Chains A and B, each alone.
Chain A
Amino acid sequence: QQPVQSPQAVILREGEDAVINCSSSKALYSVHWYRQKHGEAPIFLMILLKGGEQKGHDKISASFNEKKQQSSLYLTASQLSYSGTYFCGTETSGSRLTFGEGTQLTVNP
């Protein structure tokens, strides 16, 4: 079942912060976060594993609440380059990802 992302869209001014949420009704082994710019491939940002391990970019932070099957992506001091659509992909078994519908982030000067 597809994870639910919120908000659907957010507009920021450069330097502001944002939080993007992802929730699933199924037990998760991991949550993957990607950013996609228009016409481009999704770019890997971070993976959060059951048990607390994280792998990803140093400037990106995220959390994974295993009990609630929820993850949040924290974007601080946003830059213009942060604009794009953010997708969470949830993994319930066997490295197959199920993606949410995305959160469109726009950062204005």
Chain B
Amino acid sequence: DAGVTQSPTHLIKTRGQQVTLRCSPKSGHDTVSWYQQALGQGPQFIFQYYEEEERQRGNFPDRFSGHQFPNYSSELNVNALLLGDSALYLCASSPTGTYNEQFFGPGTRLTVL
């Protein structure tokens, strides 16, 4: 059973560019959450998708947007990249319902120069 997968593993962009990160949830999971983890800190919630809609959103600007596809996979898009967007971006999937464990993917390391 494949776990949560993310692509790409690493990415280097320059300020002002746009980036798309991808996530495939664990089999049987239909809810996908995205987190940003800066070095030495805990993950910070960006947003969550369920049934192809954004269900919840954290304190991130509109430059961060996402999408969920019918097969439950998801994309995170970041426009007008800033140096401060450099971080590990984690995708976590969970089954339907609240109070369920979330399983994390290996993450995408984004570096903005």
Interface residues of A (CB under 8 A from B): 2, 29-30, 32, 34, 40-44, 47, 49, 55-56, 87, 89, 91, 93-102
Provided the pairs A87-B42, A87-B43 are in contact, do residues A95 and B31 lie with their beta carbons within 8 angstroms?
Answer: yes
Instruction: Determine the distance from Cα of A6 to Cα of B31 in the docked complex, in whole angstroms.
Output: 31
Instruction: Determine whether the beta carbon of A100 is less than 8 Å from that of B99.
Output: no
A-B residue pairs, 3 tightest by C-beta: A99-B42, A41-B104, A95-B98
Q: How far is the CB of B42 from chain A (nearest CB, A)?
A: 3
Which of B35, B41, B42, B102 gathers most chain A CB within 10 Å?
A: B42
In angstroms, Cα B35 to Cα A2, docked, is 14
Residues of B contacting A93 in the complex (Cβ-Cβ under 8 angstroms): 98
A101 contacts B42, CB within 8 Å? yes
Q: How far is the CA of A42 from the CA of B104 in the complex (A)?
A: 6
Q: Which residues of B contact A (CB under 8 A)?
A: 4, 31, 33, 35, 41-45, 48, 55-56, 58, 90, 94, 97-107
B33, B41, B103, B105: the one contacting A44 at CB < 8 Å is B103
Q: Beyond A30-B99, A42-B104, is A102–B48 a contact (Cβ under 8 Å)?
A: no
Kindly state the separation between the CA atoms of A12 and B33 in the bound complex, as whole angstroms. Answer: 34
A42 to B4, CA, bound (A): 12
